[in-house]
Amino acid sequence: MSQFADESPEDSRDREWALVRRHLEGDRDAFRALYEKYRDKVYASALRIVGEASLAEDLAQEIFVKIHDDLRGFKFESRFSTWLYRIAVNHAINKANEIERRGRIRERIAREQPPEPPRGPDADRFADDRVIRAVGELSPKLRAIIALRYLEGLSYSEIAEVLEVSIGTVKSRLFLAHETLRPMMQGLSEEDKA
Amino acid sequence: MKCELFRDLLLDYVDGALDADTLVDYRQHYGSCAGCAATQKMIEGQEGMLAALPHPKAPDTLWGRIQHEIADRRMLTSLDRPRLRFGGWAAAAAAALVAVSCVFAVGGRAPRREDPGLPVHVVDISAQPGAPALGRMVPGYENPVPAAPLFDTLLGAGK
């Protein structure tokens, strides 16, 4: 059974490698196919890390242009997705650090007064907003690890490969992220309400 | 099991990655330590909320922006290339000019090292073949016959 489970990622890797090769041979549709597969993932991760839609769109554009330019250096040693996430996350962290330095995110969060908790169907969206705001309070590195784990659904070893750190570092950063979120997300989860 | 080890194993437990023996020890600690049990609940609760967050979609305008950026870069690259080529030729031409100037400068200066004792090869210069000589030039030092200094030679030729 695990054999079949292992085959699928291999097939996926080979399909993506084939697309990269076609792109390098001048087939413009190949890059479009790679873009279509990862557009939402790259945009969503960028949004989680920089915290603002217009910035995330700029960032996603920069990331895909960089990927387009750098594909000639792709070594066919790792999965394309790992390589792509590495470029995307590093670029997003750098951008978020730059924004942090200018104090934009914290100022924006401080300006936003927490609204009154709504009742009824808007209650879920309100909880989501609070969670997103809490994630926005983390450092860019911790935001990146939250995005890779809970948005992209990567395993600890995949995250370690993307970030080029050990699995132990991934776990300790993730644990730190949860501990930092603890006071900000207090009372939101079912476990807290129980 | 101590609290520190429990916390090290917590994420693996939530991930379902603990082996059977470790799982027994882990659960035993969970049942006896309220602090670690609260931490596990906190992480499980957060995981549920984080995983349930909406996955934002990339705007439809994104592909167009990427295409424009790539096209702009291609155009800039193609404009840069001829400039580089021209720049390369200009540099080569300038280097050649400097080299030639040096050769001429050295070549022209050599006869001025006026030493009446040196053997100098002197050539008559005239406007037309057969016309009276207007002067003399000194291209080298091969002539075994001693000659007058260049300055004197040129002045004397007009007389």
Distances (CA, A) of B37 to A132, B43, B120: 25, 10, 107
Who wins on pLDDT, A104 or B117? A104
Give B85 to chain A, closest Cα distance, Å: 23
pLDDT attached to residue B114: 47
pLDDT attached to residue A52: 86
| pLDDT tens digits for range A150-191 | 989 999 999 999 999 999 999 999 999 999 999 888 777 655
Give A191 to chain B, closest Cα distance, Å: 6
- Which residues have C-beta within 8 Å of that of residue B96, sequence separation ≥ 6? none
In the stretch 13-42 of chain A, residues with CB closer than 8 A to chain B read 32, 35, 39-40, 42
pLDDT attached to residue B105: 60
pLDDT attached to residue A5: 44
Q: Which of A60, A156, A190 sits opposite B62 (nearest CB)?
A: A60
Q: Specify whether B42 is located in the same domain as B81.
A: no
**Where residue A86 falls among pLDDT bands split at 50, 70, 90?**
very high
| pTM summary value | 0.67
State the best of B46, B55, B57 to mutate against chain A, taking most chain A CBs within 10 Å.
B46
pLDDT attached to residue B32: 93
pLDDT attached to residue A125: 64
- Which residues have C-beta within 8 Å of that of residue B48, sequence separation ≥ 6? A189, A190
Specify the DSSP class assigned to residue A71: G
State the best of B41, B47, B66 to mutate against chain A, taking most chain A CBs within 10 Å.
B66
Q: Specify whether B105 is located in the same domain as B125.
A: no
Q: Specify whether B69 is located in the same domain as B107.
A: yes
Q: Specify whether B80 is located in the same domain as B98.
A: yes
pLDDT attached to residue A21: 94
Residue B59 has pLDDT above 60, yes or no: yes
Give A80 to chain B, closest Cα distance, Å: 19
Q: Which of B7, B48, B54 sits opposite A128 (nearest CB)?
A: B54
Residue A77 has pLDDT above 50, yes or no: yes
Q: Contacts of residue A47 in chain B, CB cutoff 8 Å?
A: 56
CATH of region A2-193: 1.10.1740.10
Buried b (16+ CB within 10 A) or exposed e, B1-14: beeeebbebbbbbe
Count of CB atoms within 10 A of residue B159's CB?
Answer: 4
A176 interfaces chain B, CB cutoff of 8 Å:
no
Q: Specify whether B75 is located in the same domain as B36.
A: no
Who wins on pLDDT, B17 or B96? B17
Angle, CA B156 vertex, CA B152 and CA B159 arms, to 5°: 160
Q: Which residue of B has its CA nearest to A56?
A: B58
User: Where is mean pLDDT largest: A102-116, A145-159, B73-87, B130-144?
Assistant: A145-159
Who wins on pLDDT, A141 or A129? A141
A57 interfaces chain B, CB cutoff of 8 Å:
yes
pLDDT attached to residue B102: 64
Count of CB atoms within 10 A of residue A190's CB?
Answer: 11
Phi/psi of residue B98, nearest 5 degrees: -60, -45
Residue A112 has pLDDT above 80, yes or no: no
pLDDT attached to residue B83: 54
B56 assigned to some structural domain: no
User: What is the average pLDDT across A107-131?
Assistant: 60
B144 assigned to some structural domain: yes
Residue A136 has pLDDT above 50, yes or no: yes
B47-53: which pairs have CB atoms within 8 A and are 24 or more residues apart? B47/A150, B47/B14, B48/A189, B48/A190, B49/A127, B49/A131, B49/A185, B49/A188, B49/A189, B50/A131, B50/A135, B50/A146, B50/A149, B50/A150, B51/A150, B51/A153, B52/A128, B53/A128, B53/A131, B53/A132, B53/A150, B53/A151
Phi/psi of residue A74, nearest 5 degrees: -70, 130
User: What is the average pLDDT across A30-43?
Assistant: 94
pLDDT attached to residue B68: 92
Q: Is B133 left (phi over 0), alpha (psi -120 to 50) or beta?
A: beta
Q: Contacts of residue A153 in chain B, CB cutoff 8 Å?
A: 51
Q: Where are the domains of chain A?
A: 2-193
Domain assignment of residue B44, given as a range: 3-51
Q: Specify whether B38 is located in the same domain as B75.
A: no
pLDDT attached to residue A8: 73
Residue from A79, A74, A56, A95 nearest A155 by CA: A79
Structural domains in chain B (count): 3
Q: Specify whether B125 is located in the same domain as B151.
A: yes
Per the CB < 8 Å rule, is A65 touching B41? no
State the best of A37, A38, A39 to mutate against chain B, taking most chain B CBs within 10 Å.
A39
